[in-house]
Structure 1
Amino acid sequence: MTQSPPTALAGIKVLDLSRVLAGPWCTQMLADLGADVVKVERPVAGDDTRHWGPPFLRDEDGNDTREASYFTACNRNKRSITVDMAHPQGQALLRRMACEADVVVENFKVGGLQQYGLDYDSLKALNPRLIYCSITGFGQDGPYAERAGYDLMVQAMCGLMSITGHADGTPGGGPLKAGVAVIDVFTGLYASNAILAAINARHATGQGQYIDMALLDVGMAVLANQAAGFLATGTAPGRAGNVHPSLAPYQDFATQDGNVLLAIGNDGQFARFCAAIGEPGWAQDARFATNTARVHHRAALLALMEPVLRQRGTADWIALLEDKAVPCGPINTVAQAFADPQVQARGVRIELPRGDGLPAVAGVANPMRLSATPVVYHRAPPALGQHTDEVLEQFGLDSARIEALRNAGAI
């Protein structure tokens, strides 16, 4: 009989009080690495994203199930229980669970869990080893601490939208959000990193700690080179469409039948590109010989390149350049990306069986490939409250006690 490989976070227990995206993305990362994540949801309603549709999952006949696909993006490998934390017995139950947990993750408003006795100070007194991660829009202090924070408004506030989209005065110009809630996703990733760091620190100290994660902080952090450029010069970057501010040519180009993306990052790649298209002299031209020169003379370079690239189709350019170590590729739709042979070879699409005659849930594989402690997919995104009885029994509650809690409205 084949045994499952060991997981990196085997034995780590996570009490997940979060909902929507940033918190659940964090806890899904921990669950994928082997942590036992118990997702606590509101009775009847559950996580908000269960209702964020369309699109919805479909049954075997292709009909909408009213189960929003959004929820499935960030809740696999978890067990769902329903607990009313506004109910005194529900609060007592969650405190009991926190006593045995390694990690609590929550994304309520600042101070919102104190009234329930589920804040960090209250739970730390019961479990000093507890690692407690709070995710809010603006952090636990500062003039905006009490504000609600959402991905879209943080994309706007942190400056991301000011550098995303076509420049003012060009067709379609103006600020744009990213096509994915990237601040939420990045916050989930930063939060999971912070939790792993705190787990490692606990090995040395025996003590847990508090983690304060703010979407705005993360939004500022992921400005990366754009922030560094502003801090170095005092000049705020602007929108430039798909043009890279510090590299050239590094953008999309129109072809005979569509578009091709060139991502030339050094002078050697540019020289190979020029040779491949029959224009080796461009690489010796003083205006284009170095990346800095190409950035300064971008308009002149594009005036030469654009008519040449329109002479062939996208696939022809990729076939010509890809074996010359010149980074290039198509601009795919999501459907085309999933159909790409490299994506398929890497097993990026996964199928998570649900049992009970329900169709499997399709998902995207975790990109972390660990050789000794790989990610394991052992649970599809759970139905609301699917594991309530199972989890409470593990905490020593018998069926009569569970039924009494249910009758009282606590679960």
Structure 2
Amino acid sequence: MSYHEWPEVYRKLGVKPVINAQSWVTVLGGSIMRKEVLEAMNDASKVFVDMIELNKSAGKFIAKVCNSEAGLVTNGCASAQVLMSAACMTGEDDNKVEKLPNTEGMKNEVIIFKGQRNRYDKAFETSGAIIKEFGTEEDATEEDLISVISNKTCAIAYVIMPFFKPGIGLKKTIEIAHKNSIPVILDAAAEIPPRSNFHRFINMGVDMVAFSGGKGIGGPQSSGILAGKENLINSAFKNSLNLHSNIACVGRPMKVSKENIIGLVTALELYLDSNEEEEYHLWKKKSEYIKNQLKDIPNLDIKIENTPTDRQGTQPVLYFHDDWKGKSPEKIREEMINGDPPIYLGVGGSNLYGYIGEINIVMTNVMQGEEIIIADRLNKLLRE
């Protein structure tokens, strides 16, 4: 679908399509599902099934993909975070499951490096857990982590996100946690691609890892993947859909429909069967086109970057010299959004990720031909 096509379902509500050069962000709808995914979801909607059986079967498929003991489809990655912290507090104890979010008498502290605190970690607390920080916003030592471990610690959380500091690193975090018989839970929402990350973190020793299903995988936006140790996944499932209890548990508001489960599984199958290198090549080709269109603008550096920890795929990044006289990066973003069609660029200028004075143009959701529109609009704004 090209940028100017306006589906009737949105037209009648007055909602315009946008060009998404900001990445697989929730605020722009995640990703575009393939035709096969939509067809599978439609087929799934036509019959009733035993949801416990469906969850367990889908979980086995996820476990195989992630090389984990067990897996679970969740209602987005944030839901997986809630369920991870809940699982670490309750285990498979039905009484504790029913008690949440009241955590009195339980191990209820989730430890996290201060430099990895973020707007999304509230999900860990939604279950009733308490977040306990270690280190500073810039760095941490092994001693910092060890000093905050107590008989109230239920888990150590680690977050992988662009421009986030590693603290003592995931490997050392796992080592210290396991020496103290504490599980490590990992938020890796946007870490697919590469597909090797499905099993890399489990192979490192992480006890549970959460991925978004509606980003690089191309599944329903409100879908996620939770993989890890069988006892913890069983606990997460109990906290999610405890159908044998008289009390709706803490994960009940995050239940996953049969359509979303089938959509996620289908998207995952298609993703695993796709050519990753071919997709990377397309991102690079679009990036080079934009760079070539803007490269002669004075006092502006344009670099094509692909640092795995900070950039989601190959993308052009605009760096403004100190003597830049044109519009500010913030003003350019604003005018790109206010144009027709609206174009959303990367959030480089935001204190959220700590990099200011640049514009990054994320290729992951830029459809064929949209790079021409992006370059043309930027060319005009940057020369004004």
TM-score (norm 1): 0.21
Greater RCO (CA < 8 Å, at least 6 residues apart): 2
Larger Cα Rg: Structure 1 or Structure 2? 1
TM-score (norm 2): 0.22
